Copies of this chain bind each other. A is one copy, B any other.
Amino acid sequence: MGPGPVNAHPRVLRAMSADLLGQFDPEMTSYMNEVMALYRPIFGTENQWTLLVDGTARAGIEAALVSLVAPGDTVLVVNFGRFGLLLSEILQRIGAKIETVEAPWGETVPLDAIEAAIQRTGPALVASIHGDTSTTMAQPLDGFGDLCARAGALSYVDATATIGGMEIATDRWGVDVVSGGLQKCLGGPSGSAPITISQRAAAYIQRRKHVEQGIRRDDIEDGEGPLIGSNYFDLAMIMDYWSDKRLNHHTEATTMLYGARECARIMLAEGLDARYARHRAAGGAMTAGLRAMGLSLFGDDRHRMTNVTAVHIPDGIDGETVRRKMREHFEIEIGTAFGPLAGKVWRIGAMGYNARKHKVLLTLAALEAVLMGEGLRLPAGEGVTAALAAWEASQ
């Protein structure tokens, strides 16, 4: 019950035990095409280029940024937590000129501040996190992509911590590239990064195409744009691999693809609205329960992610001792924190397969027992009761 990775759905784990296929076997390439179709509704998009990057969610971020940004390009980063800082760290390696528009940890960045920063900096790309688990805040994104497009900028959003749990509306937001990971609300393991790419972004990336010397073909031409700074993360080549050209790049991570496919099948069978409602119900029960225990939450209530909650560690309580006892006595993991919040808050998730009534209630019951054992006075029994009431009110 941390901020991810969390327990995988058992069906995903079973799907991953299927034997491998050759990477150009028609059965394998049909699964690749299925994955493209399955992830379009999950990303809220009609984008043709909706596929997997073979690596963890961070690989998806780097693939997006290194393919969308050339050295010297100005990039505006919307920064409201650790993962906003990560965007800048990756962009620094690419050689981008980095500008930021910021909010304090626990808040999000108002759209008009982003607009003003775009006017001020004239970026080629604007990049934001959707849900930053370091602060548990979700950046509002309606209107974001259109704002960028009007200023002639491409836009990128990292949705690792929200995809599968909160609505991703790529097309409605007007965002060019969105990437995610399996290990949070999608209920799979880390190691595959779904990504979607608009036609506009794909056209930009294709202009940077440079086919490897060992596999050049007469029917595929190089573009005239600057070379993409990574071979592994070159989305131009990865798109050719996922297209009918099937131009060889890396060897697709077959087992991870089986897992990603099953995550999506489970999600679409549940229904997008039902799934988001389940996460809202679990998050609402968690926050109600924590507050009824007398604990105080970190961050702006209006922009709280539904799938992870940061709660202040009470005075006189050692956060790591509580985490250890939760794990040793109850086999339940809750999260620590980064940077300015380290030692100050726990982050308690209810993501994917774990966004379920009984898991929220059991976590609260365990936390109450551990805190009482540590000598904290709290209104015994009220956390679970309030959480159950909140869950039932949401149904």
Picked from B62, B253, B259, the residue with its CB within 8 Å of the CB of A230 is B62
Q: In the complex, what residue of chain B is closest to A2 when comparing beta carbons?
A: B22
B18 touches A13 (CB 8 A): yes
Indicate with 1 or 0, residue by residue over A189-202, a CB within 8 angstroms of chain B CB atoms. Answer: 11110000000000
**B18:A230 contact, CB within 8 angstroms:** no
Of the stretches A43-51, A119-127, A212-220, A355-363, the one at the interface is A212-220
Contact A16 B255 (CB under 8 A): yes
Q: Least Cβ distance of A23 to chain B in Å?
A: 6
Contacts A189-B255, A190-B253 given; does A231 touch B93 at CB 8 Å: yes
Question: Which residues of the partner chain B approach A10 to less than 8 Å between Cβ atoms?
Answer: 19
Contact B8 A22 (CB under 8 A): no
Q: Are the CB atoms of B189 and A92 closer together than 8 Å? A: no
Stretch at the interface among A34-42, A78-86, A143-151, A296-304: A78-86
A330 within 8 A of B: no
Whether B62 contacts A231 by the Cβ 8 Å rule is yes
Contact partner, A253, options B22, B85, B189, B254, Cβ 8 Å? B189
Q: Name A231's closest neighbour in chain B (CB-CB).
A: B90
Q: A25-B333, A191-B191 are in contact. Are A253 and B8 (CB under 8 A)?
A: no
* B25/A17 in contact, CB under 8 A: no
Interface of A, helix, strand, loop or mixed by DSSP: loop
A9 nearest in chain B by CB position: B19
Of A53-61, A169-177, A374-382, which stretch is located at the interface? Answer: A53-61
Is A214 within 8 A of B16, CB to CB? Answer: no
Residue from B189, B190, B216, B231 in contact with A86 in the complex, judged by beta carbons closer than 8 Å? B231
The contact string, 1 if C-beta is below 8 Å from chain B, for chain A 1-34, is 0101111101001101111111111000000000
Does A251 sit at the interface, judged by CB under 8 A? yes
Whether, in the assembled complex, A248 has its beta carbon less than 8 Å from a beta carbon of chain B, the answer is: yes
| Chain A contact patch, size range | 35 or more
Which residue on B lies nearest to A249, using beta carbons?
A: B58
- The answer to whether the Cβ of A72 comes within 8 Å of any Cβ in the partner chain is no
Any B CB within 8 A of the CB of A368: no
Contact among B192, B232, B327, B339 with A215 in the assembled complex (CB-CB below 8 Å): B339
In whole angstroms, what is the CA distance A173 to B214 when docked?
Answer: 27
Asked if A99 CB lies within 8 Å of chain B CBs, one says no
* Contact residues in B for A191 (Cβ distance below 8 Å): 54, 191-192, 253-256
* Interface residue from B59, B88, B213 paired with A54 (Cβ < 8 Å): B59
Q: Are B13 and A17 in contact (CB under 8 A)?
A: yes
Contact B189 A20 (CB under 8 A): yes
CB nearest to A83 among chain B residues: B214
Could you tell me if B259 and A255 are in contact, using CB atoms closer than 8 angstroms? yes
Docked CA distance A43–B134 (Å)? 38
Within 8 A of B (CB), among A233-266: 233, 248-256, 259
Q: Say yes or no for A128: interface residue by CB 8 A criterion.
A: no
Selected A-B contacts with CB under 8 Å, 16 pairs: A2-B22, A4-B251, A8-B20, A13-B16, A16-B16, A25-B327, A54-B59, A55-B250, A62-B230, A85-B213, A191-B192, A191-B256, A214-B338, A229-B229, A232-B233, A255-B255
